[in-house]
């Protein structure tokens, strides 16, 4: 069973940066390509939204319009880890950030428990 564990959240001032990590267990590095990896976020009282994606096959990326140019998703297959570098943070980025792995062949989602990001002065 794939397990995901996020880390790196915290409190940061507007304009600051954070780097989130998502460590995946029970996945062999050569199988990373079977998954699409995503970061979602959910702010208080709002629906969960997709923030950034990276495809397992070719590492192509996609971003929500609200974070384009500020956030960067990346992966380290050897370490079974996906990252979300967040720069120029804004108060509206405040949310719980969730790591998601989607295994395409069996159409199954795996979720982490989330990490809180708060942007405030």
pLDDT at 50 (0 to 100): 98
pLDDT at 59 (0 to 100): 92
In angstroms, what CA-CA distances link 85 with 2, 27, 41, 74? 23, 23, 14, 8
- Give the pair of three-digit tokens for residue 19: 């780097």
pLDDT at 29 (0 to 100): 63
Per-residue pLDDT 10s for the chain (121 aa) are: 889 999 999 999 999 999 999 999 887 766 888 999 999 999 999 999 999 999 988 999 999 999 999 999 999 988 889 999 999 999 999 999 999 999 999 999 999 999 999 999 9
């Amino acid at each position: 069973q794939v397990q995901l564990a996020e880390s790196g959240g915290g409190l940061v001032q507007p304009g600051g940066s954070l780097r989130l990590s998502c460590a995946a267990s029970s996945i062999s590095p050569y199988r990373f390509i079977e998954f699409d990896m995503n970061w979602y976020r959910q702010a208080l009282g709002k629906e969960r939204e997709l923030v950034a994606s990276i495809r397992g096959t070719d590492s192509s990326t996609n971003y929500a319009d609200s974070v384009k140019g500020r956030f960067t998703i990346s992966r380290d297959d050897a370490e079974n880890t996906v990252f979300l570098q967040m720069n120029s943070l804004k108060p509206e980025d405040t949310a719980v950030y969730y790591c998601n792995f989607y295994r395409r062949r069996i159409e199954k989602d795996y979720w982490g428990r989330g990490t809180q990001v708060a942007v405030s002065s």
